[in-house]
Amino acid sequence: MLSHPPLRRRSGFQVNAVGLAAGAIVLFWAIVALVGPDLAPHPPGEIVDFDFYGPVSARLWMGSDYLGRDIFSRILMGARYTVGISLAAVCIACFSGIVLGMTAAVIGGWFDTLLSRFLDALSSIPSKLFGLVVVAAVGSSIPVLVLVLAVIYTPGSYRFARALAVNSNTMDYVAVARARGEGTGYLITQEILPNIAGPVLADLGLRFVFIVLLLSGLSFLGLGVQPPYADWGSLVRENLGGLPFAAPAVIFPCLAIASLTISVNLLIDNLPVRIRDRSD
């Protein structure tokens, strides 16, 4: 045998079809969020149809809404709010939740107790009510919405990450690192995070869906995205009256939400896996 076998870096990753398709859809919506409003055939607030809940036609690709506005243009515009606000909020919520959760698990003692009780208290406030009060008091703007949604979803993420980190924390490899004299930062980022990343990412996907739903709830109450702009959730809400007429105005925003949220979850469940089989 050679003393220096060549270091082979073979193609490395195993991607499956579901993950690829989901990734493509998420990418598609991300692009729409960036450039969509520029491509919209009509301004989102303009009334272009004299009929309300109009059908799908060559001019109005997805029909018209309860005021006769073009749904296609409104969905393109709404992508920016839904994807932007929800994604920013979920990233902030999960980042702070995970970092605090792992820190609490590693440090333990008083720090853990105080932080856990504080976040428990926070999560005991009904989320809609909390959002309502804060947004009503401060006024609705995109940064406020992002922060409020992030604060509402941090305690859940914290609980989840802490529960996982506590298990990982009792493993011998963490004990070895402690006996070596490693600091908290190293324990968190190098020893614990890689082992809880999978479930934590799955939780992120789920939380993203919740945030999309809560955002539409706030918009419905008039505290979210302000008219004439609207996120997808509010598009569904404002056109709910069209449901008995099978109006496309209510169906297409639903499809948009479903395709995004399901794709995010499928993507996270089917992330590319590094092929480890290098035994030959």
Report the distance separating Cα 242 and Cα 250, nearest Å: 7
Which x/- pattern, by CB under 8 A, does the window 260-279 give for other proteins?
A: -------------x-xxxxx
Told to check if 59 binds other proteins by CB under 8 A, we report no
Total Cβ atoms within 10 A of residue 191 = 21
Which residues pair with residue 70 across a beta bridge? 64
Query: Using the rule CB under 8 A, is 124 a contact of other proteins?
Result: no
* Contact characters 8-27, other proteins, x per CB under 8 A: ------x-------------
- Please pick, from the candidates 136, 173, 255, 258, the single residue that binds other proteins as defined by CB under 8 A: 173
Amino acid letter, 269 = D
* Binding residue for other proteins, selected from 70, 112, 191, 203, defined by CB under 8 A: 191
Distance CA 44, CA 79 (A): 12
**Closer Cβ to other proteins, 59 or 278, answer by number:** 278
> Using an 8 Å Cβ cutoff, are 17 and 274 in contact?
no
| Phi and psi angles of residue 71, each rounded to the nearest 5 degrees, phi first | -65, -40
Give the contact letters, 194-213, x = binds to other proteins (CB under 8 A), - = no.
xx-x----------------
DSSP for 51-70 reads: SSSPPP-SSSTT-B-TTSBB
- Extended strands (E) in the chain: 13-14, 273-274
- Region of 1-9, 151-159, 208-216, 222-230 interacting with other proteins (CB under 8 A): 1-9
- Interaction site with other proteins (CB under 8 A): 1, 3-5, 7, 14, 171-173, 175-176, 178-182, 190-191, 194-195, 197, 273, 275-280
